[in-house]
Amino acid sequence: MLTIPRLPLALSAAAGLFLSTPGLSAQLSTQGISLEEVVVTAKFRDTPLMDAIGSISVLPESTITERAAQHLQDILNAVPNVNWAAGASRARFVQIRGVGDLEQYYDPKYYPAVGVMLDDLELGDTANAGMLFDINQVEVLRGPQGTRFGASGHAGMIFMRSNAPTENFEGALSGGVGNYASNNLGLVLSGPLNDTLSARLAVQQNNSDGYIDNEQQGSDNTNNIDELTSRGRVRWTPTESTQYEFSASYFDANNGYDPWSLDNNRTTNSDQPGEDSQKLATVTGAGDWTLNDNHAIAASLSYLNADLHQSFDADWVSDAFCVRFACSSGNDTTQEIFDRKRDRYIADVRLLGADNSSASAGNRYLVGVYANTSSESLDYQRPSVWYGDSASDSDYDTDRYAVYGEYQYALTEQLTLIAGLRLERFEDDYSDSNAFSSDNSNTLWDGELSARYSVSDNTMLYATVASSQKPGGVNTTASANQSLMSPVFQAFTDDKLNFDDETLLNKEIGLRTQQFDNRLALSIALFHAHRDHAQLENWMWDEAAGLWIGYLDSTSDTTSYGAELETTFDVNSHVQLFANLGWLHNEVDSIAAFDLDLAQFVDKQDRDQAKSPAYQYNVGTRLALSDQWSGRIEFEGRDDSYYGYYHDGKLDDYHLVNASAQWQSGAIAITLWGRNLNDEDYAVHGLYFAADPRDDFGAWQNSTYLQLGEPRTYGVELRYSF
């Protein structure tokens, strides 16, 4: 029987804040807070949020500033039914409504279920570069976005829109410091170069020692952050009907990676702390041509080059540790090292027809073509004292070509129907130094049928049915190592060397409204989704062969349903309340897994899907205390959730308190901020296996190991605008 979880105490306290805050208004002064029109830019056409179909969250630059957010992971907790897993120094793996990748090791997995875009550039699986410096807004589109983005938006899309070049010269110098030796320094310059040409440059260096103390190294910065972000945009408008834009970016991260502790705390004993570095260079060109009153062309070309290095201490201990404690078999002194190089070229061209002046215009259509060619090389090494050195190289190439279209028909002044369709061809080739190779091709169909009904000027209802496909392929690691497996594992993997195309069908209804002279904005979405041949990440340990085997299992279906609510209410000119709530039920019909504790294969029925907490919440208030002072306090949290299928380990529920205060006078703005002020220990990723060699702790027993999120952090940010 389905039960709705009891909301935690923090949420009840926040509800009390909602009820009690209006009494503060007599003490507040004149600056005021008001609801502004929000425009969604991730659709084919820029669309006011009030007219946009689907469950969409838009986080403005003010939210980024108030949370002192440096990276996407610092704001995603504010979005309903969105989760993320680390498995790296930053959040690279995003799940929307429980759908999304959890980590990446050997297999390429070149097509994550949740896309990440920066303007016209697909970041995809290089989301370490999701830095928020000089970002105007972040849009999170939940549910399949197949017509618009194809397989890149299978479960949803995160769209980062940077600030555009300005018509007048302006600039800003910003900097900040915080605990754990965190600091940042940034510069923005923007303005016209001549009557038709304008440009913008944004550069920031961000650093932190991180939150780990390594006893073996006597160091507190083995999990450090060292990130350089630079972006440039040039906009040329030679005529009223023509606009071109050229942008380039460079991201250079040299982060540490030492998050795993045998005691599930922030003290490690690794003798070979890892690294998580990424160098990313991108170039994008885009053009918009208005042909006449009824037709326009939009085109974009982009190139991405990424050099990624990740390494970690695979046994988490040192010789000195095994002197202090009695360790079974001593210390292996082993590492795992991954070096990836990626190149990606993308072209997207579309013709937009009919009146495109507003989202409520009459009959409109568009047709487009898309091409994406990508290549990845992986150099993997595992030097080990116990097992000897092992290494492999692989190459993985993909080609995606698509044609797509969308038609919008105004049946009446109130009712608009929209249909979209995308045909995508996916091809990939894989080869490695183990003499294993494969090639695969898929034809994928994505589609959408939607209706939007305008109840009034400030209330809209919508209903949508959307389908998206994610390509199947070969489990390369399992295939390359099958001959080395024990017979029982060979038999089990016979039908799991390949995984099928996944189809996600989502049905959704929603409401958006603005009431009380636009002081209240409310959005509600109810959804039901089904995944055929769901691609579920699984692992098994073949002890006799000494092999960890990872694979995608597509032999099961999944069913999910839930709700999302987002609301903002201006109580008066000084007090704004907000609430973002998500509820999710997401289960796997049946999945066969090798249970590490039972050391046998089991069939798990109706199992909650990994990284699918039943509830999430972000509630709070923004206060305009005077002409110069404003503040924000918020409570956020989520339910517990499984993080795998080969065990029953869970990430516990957690509940955090964040707050900030801002002072602004003329060109100077100062933000005092704090996150996780209650200093709660919570996990952002988990592993389950036998890692602890200490005899007194029951050597080599299976246990849950957690990668912890940030502890209590606080600091001050200063910005000078000119």
CATH at 407: 2.40.170.20
Instruction: For residues 89-101, give the mean pLDDT.
Output: 88
Q: Which of 466-475, 549-558, 647-656, 693-702 bottoms out in mean pLDDT, i.e. has the lowest? A: 693-702
> How far apart, in whole angstroms, are the C-alpha atoms of residue 82 and residue 116?
13
Check the CA dihedral 10-11-12-15 and report its sign: positive
pLDDT at residue number 7: 44
Q: Name the residue with tokens 């988490």.
A: 316
Q: How wide is the angle at C-alpha 237 spanned by C-alphas 235 and 241, nearest 5°?
A: 135
Phi, psi of 109 (to 5 degrees): 45, 60
Q: Which residue has the higher pLDDT, 4 or 524?
A: 524
Instruction: For residues 397-413, give the mean pLDDT.
Output: 95
Q: How wide is the angle at C-alpha 131 spanned by C-alphas 127 and 137, nearest 5°?
A: 105
Residue 84's pLDDT band (cuts 50, 70, 90): confident
pLDDT at residue number 109: 65
pTM of the model: 0.92
For residue 297, which amino acid is it? Answer: I
Q: Name the residue with tokens 């404003």.
A: 630
Tokens of 11: 């949420």
pLDDT at residue number 117: 94
Of 638, 562, 563, which is closest to residue 77 (Cα–Cα)?
638
> How far apart, in whole angstroms, are the C-alpha atoms of residue 313 and residue 319?
13
Whether 148 and 120 have beta carbons less than 8 Å apart is answered as no
Instruction: For residues 715-721, give the mean pLDDT.
Output: 98
Of 643, 657, 709, which is closest to residue 95 (Cα–Cα)?
643
> How far apart, in whole angstroms, are the C-alpha atoms of residue 277 and residue 224?
11
What letter would DSSP give residue 20?
Answer: H
pLDDT at residue number 512: 97
Whether 670 and 660 have beta carbons less than 8 Å apart is answered as no
> How far apart, in whole angstroms, are the C-alpha atoms of residue 446 and residue 427?
17
571 assigned to some structural domain: yes
Instruction: For residues 387-399, give the mean pLDDT.
Output: 88
Q: Which of 14-23, 121-130, 159-168 bottoms out in mean pLDDT, i.e. has the lowest? A: 14-23
Residue 35's pLDDT band (cuts 50, 70, 90): low
Q: How wide is the angle at C-alpha 678 spanned by C-alphas 674 and 680, nearest 5°?
A: 110
3 assigned to some structural domain: no
265 assigned to some structural domain: yes
pLDDT at residue number 110: 61
Whether residue 4 has pLDDT greater than 90:
no
Whether residue 232 has pLDDT greater than 80:
yes
Query: pLDDT averaged over the chain?
Result: 90
Tokens of 594: 């090798």
In which domain, by residue range, is 289 found? 9-721
User: pLDDT digits over 312-370, tens only?
Assistant: 998 999 988 988 898 887 788 889 999 999 999 999 999 999 864 544 456 899 999 99
User: pLDDT digits over 172-188, tens only?
Assistant: 999 999 999 999 999 99
Whether residue 305 has pLDDT greater than 50:
yes
4 assigned to some structural domain: no
3-state secondary structure of 653: coil
User: pLDDT digits over 671-688, tens only?
Assistant: 999 999 999 999 998 999
Question: Based on the structure, what is the number of domains in the chain?
Answer: 1
103 assigned to some structural domain: yes
611 assigned to some structural domain: yes
266 assigned to some structural domain: yes
pLDDT at residue number 354: 85
642 assigned to some structural domain: yes
pLDDT at residue number 90: 86
Tokens of 41: 């830019």
Going by C-beta distance under 8 Å and a sequence separation of 6 or more, which residues neighbour residue 196? Answer: 236, 237, 238
Instruction: For residues 714-718, give the mean pLDDT.
Output: 98
Residue 636's pLDDT band (cuts 50, 70, 90): very high
pLDDT at residue number 373: 96
Q: Name the residue with tokens 């080869």.
A: 431
pLDDT at residue number 27: 34
The DSSP secondary structure of 512-537, one letter per residue, reads: EEEETTTTEEEEEEEEEEEEEEEEEE
The DSSP secondary structure of 90-152, one letter per residue, reads: S--EEEETTBS----SSS---S-SEEEEETTEE-GGGGGG-B-TTEEEEEEEES--HHHHGGG
Q: Which helix (H) or strand (E) holds 594?
A: strand 575-595
Whether 703 and 688 have beta carbons less than 8 Å apart is answered as yes
The dihedral formed by the CA atoms of 205, 206, 207 and 211, expressed in degrees to the nearest 10: -170
> How far apart, in whole angstroms, are the C-alpha atoms of residue 264 and residue 275?
20
Residue 1's pLDDT band (cuts 50, 70, 90): very low
3-state secondary structure of 631: strand
Whether residue 640 has pLDDT greater than 50:
yes
**What percentage of the chain exceeds 90 in pLDDT?**
75
Whether residue 85 has pLDDT greater than 90:
no
The dihedral formed by the CA atoms of 680, 157, 68 and 81, expressed in degrees to the nearest 10: -30
3-state secondary structure of 690: strand
3-state secondary structure of 544: coil
- No. of H helices and E strands in the chain? 6, 40
Separation in Å, CA 335 to CA 257, 386, 462, 701: 12, 12, 52, 21
Whether 618 and 77 have beta carbons less than 8 Å apart is answered as yes
